[in-house]
Structure 1
Amino acid sequence: MDLQLHNSQEKLTVSDAVFAADYKESLVHQLVTAYMAAGRAGTKAHKNRASVRGGGSKPWRQKGTGRARAGTIRSPLWRSGGVTFAAQPRDYTQKVNRKMYRAGIRAILSELARQDRLIVVEDIAVDAPKTKQLLGRLAELGVSKTLIVTETGDDKLYLSARNVPNVEISDVAGLSPVNLIRYEHIVITVGSVRAIEEWLS
């Protein structure tokens, strides 16, 4: 498969296994769900009737008072009682096999290539950490809501983009299924394409 280089007559030959794979919506959905679930803190906690302090003794005898029977002052029915079905800390992570994760990333990249949302450039580095420079480069590419993928971390590029809405910088190691599907366009360097091929082949 060939990817067209932006503003060039040249084409970049890439692996069909990585950039021309079948799109499996159920797999991508599972991947995105698992990724977002793993980001949940899972620290919510309330006290049930066993956790609330006190309430060890029966407030009055079972029969003969005319009042409704009660076994503890910490009943969920009472003021200052415990919570019914109280939330407890839990781990929301879902297991995703490495093979499945890579297949999902391949499916997303292939679909982006089919929809012409993958823009391959030789380089997108900036001379200095200036937002104006980056906005000029994005205007040349004709994109706004975009993810820029570099081979390795670029501090100047990151500093240039951190104040621009709907623009995110990521290196290949930091790619995730969520940021790949969130943006309208993915601007990716040739070096990043080769690194992704090496990772996913």
Structure 2
Amino acid sequence: MKVAVLDIKGKETGRKVDLSDAVFKIEPNEHAIYLDVKQYLAHQRQGTHQAKERGAIAGSTRKIKKQKGTGTARAGSIKSPIFRGGGRIFGPRSKDYSQKLNKNVKRLARRSALSIKAQENSLMVIEDFNFEAPKTKDFIQVLKSLGLEDKKSLIVLGDSNNNVYLSSRNLTRTEVVTNSELSTYKILNAQNVVLLEGSLEGIESNLSKS
């Protein structure tokens, strides 16, 4: 599968790259995508919600009134949930929401997501670029040239590039990641995926493993 390489001005460089059919041109596996996205979203949950039940409340354990003769219900502790300041009944507890997923399934899901973007013509390859200093204005100009200014886009770098990353950080509709940070959710959540030439080798190497 051959794709034209663009420069940061959105013009063709006259070069083409051969994208691996095993990564960018497979029959998408929807169930693998579902499992990988489900795991990703589950891992975003902190699970630190915790309420104090009666065993966690600080307070006296003495019986606050006699058992009988008061005309009211029995009460054995000031920490009872029916009293103000008492413990909570069946409150939320801390929980680990993380899920396990086979590596091969994750690779299949990412190949499927990239193949979907390729089928939709929402995938482009541009030559590697850098900025002399972090500057959002320069990054916006690159997006304008590529026709992505008003679109949700994912920019995939070969290696971490601090200037490019910092230049994009204030833009809510654009995310910059390295090829090792690529996930099925991020690929599908973006309207357009932009791959820098330097990221292709790493992507194909990581996702071609069986």
Shared fold per TM-score greater than 0.5: yes
5+ long unaligned stretches in structure 1: none
SS at match of 2:56: coil
Residue 89 of structure 1 corresponds to: 94
User: Among 183, 186, 203, which residue is 1:196 paired with?
Assistant: 203
Give 4+ residue runs of structure 1 displaced > 6 Å after superposition: none
Aligned-pair Cα RMSD in Å: 2.0
For 1:113 and 1:64, locate their aligned partners in 2 and report how far apart those are by CA, in whole Å.
79
For 1:11 and 1:20, locate their aligned partners in 2 and report how far apart those are by CA, in whole Å.
17
For 1:135 and 1:199, locate their aligned partners in 2 and report how far apart those are by CA, in whole Å.
30
Q: Specify the code of the residue in structure 1 equivalent to 2:190.
A: Y
CA-to-aligned-CA distance 1:1-56 (integer Å, 9 cap, x gap): 33343325543222222111222333222212211221222222111112212352
The range that moved more, 102-111 or 66-75, is 66-75
User: Among 171, 178, 187, which residue is 1:180 paired with?
Assistant: 187
Identical positions, percent? 37
TM-score for the superposition, normalised by structure 1: 0.89
**Count of matched residue positions in the alignment of Structure 1 and Structure 2:** 201
5+ long unaligned stretches in structure 2: 7-11
CA-to-aligned-CA distance 1:133-156 (integer Å, 9 cap, x gap): 322222221112311111001122
For 1:134 and 1:56, locate their aligned partners in 2 and report how far apart those are by CA, in whole Å.
64
The range that moved more, 9-18 or 77-86, is 9-18
User: Among 61, 70, 90, which residue is 1:65 paired with?
Assistant: 70
Residue 103 of structure 2 corresponds to: 98
For 1:59 and 1:131, locate their aligned partners in 2 and report how far apart those are by CA, in whole Å.
65
Distance of aligned partners of 1:51 and 1:131 in 2 relative to their CA distance in 1, 3 Å threshold: closer
For 1:142 and 1:115, locate their aligned partners in 2 and report how far apart those are by CA, in whole Å.
16
SS at match of 2:155: strand
TM-score for the superposition, normalised by structure 2: 0.85
Q: Specify the code of the residue in structure 2 equivalent to 1:25.
A: E
SS at match of 1:186: strand
Residues 3, 18 of structure 2: 8 Å contact kept? yes
Q: What pairs with 1:88-127 in structure 2 (closer than 5 Å)?
A: 88-127=93-132
Q: What pairs with 1:10-29 in structure 2 (closer than 5 Å)?
A: 10-29=15-34
User: Among 126, 148, 159, which residue is 2:155 paired with?
Assistant: 148
Q: Following TM superposition, by how much is the alpha carbon of 1:79 offset from its aligned partner in structure 2, in angstroms? A: 1.2
Residue 74 of structure 1 corresponds to: 79
Distance of aligned partners of 1:176 and 1:66 in 2 relative to their CA distance in 1, 3 Å threshold: same
The range that moved more, 61-70 or 90-99, is 61-70
State yes or no: 1:164 paired with 2:171: yes
Q: Following TM superposition, by how much is the alpha carbon of 1:83 offset from its aligned partner in structure 2, in angstroms? A: 0.3
For 1:129 and 1:58, locate their aligned partners in 2 and report how far apart those are by CA, in whole Å.
66
Residues 4, 10 of structure 1: 8 Å contact kept? yes
The range that moved more, 70-79 or 185-194, is 70-79
SS at match of 1:50: helix
